[in-house]
Amino acid sequence: MRTGFVSFWRNGFVSLSAVLIMTVTLLVVGGLIFSSALLQTTLSSVESKINVSVYFVPTASQSDESALQSKIEALPEVASVQYVSASDTLADFTARNQNDETTLQALDEVGGNPFGDSLAITAKNPSQYADIANFLNSAAGNSIGTNIIDKVNYLENKTAIDTLSKIIVGSREIGIALILILAFVSIIIIFNTIRLAIYVAKDEIAVMRLVGASNWYIRGPFVITGVMYGCVAGIITLVLIYPLTLWISSVTSTFFSGWSPFGYYLADFAKIFLIIIGSGAFLGALSSFLAVRKYLKE
């Protein structure tokens, strides 16, 4: 370890080059972290706006509605169930059509409240809405003493739900593929940079081999130096991310469904710290380990 630290400071220019290359790489890793968080937040926001509604007949009793709601909430596929009263539905309908005189006149002619109560059901996963709809259309879901369900709007929302499911799956697959590609490119870049640094010490390695030093005795200091490259680059990256996320948040404060990169950075700093520093140390150690093998085999 002492030799690794000495080598880091002694080869200042080479160390600086390696640290700068790794800093750029870790900034890319940081960008992937924030992009992944933004994607997840956006998808969750879209998911929350997609649901299946169960409309009760106006004559349905409160006890039957509550009993069905309890059964639906007990389903493993269900994330939440929101009860919407007939009066709330009427108020929302009136507000949405306040500039439509024809519709409002027709509503007045009907007299009273033509709407029934309803339940807005949100699934844990968009692909599970079909199972919930099947339950509602089955005898267990559709009949509790009397037939209280007027309509289930699953078929009306099916296209949007299926599209959302495909977007979620595709986005996650693309995200994983992008991370793997960038990680591979980063390892190659860092490997070549550290290999150049080790090239400077090839004569030293040759001498140590001649006097009988073991491979790990020779490799160890280079691995420690690689870890130092990664840790220093990680600290620089974290320092740079702070003002970058602060600036991005101020520019895009009305975008991202209210999600703030700076707020995410502060709230999940411990996780981001571990990922950035851990990635830097791992990449540095792995690249040094691989780069020094060439000289140990000669």
Find how far residue 173's CA is from the centre of its chain.
12
Return the exposure string of 4-20: e unless at least 16 CB atoms fall within 10 Å of the residue's CB, then b.
beebbeebeebbebbbe
Domain edges within the chain: 2-46+164-297, 50-155
| Each residue's pLDDT tens digit, 109-157 | 766 677 778 888 888 877 788 888 888 777 444 555 457 777 777 776 6
Q: What is the mean pLDDT of residues 200-221?
A: 79
| Each residue's pLDDT tens digit, 271-298 | 999 999 998 888 888 888 887 777 776 5
Residue 178 in this model has a pLDDT that exceeds 80: no
Q: Which residue has the tokens 């809405």?
A: 129
Instruction: Tell whether pTM > 0.85.
Output: no
What is the H or E stretch that residue 48 is in?
A: helix 12-48
The architecture that CATH gives domain 50-155 is 2-Layer Sandwich (3.30)
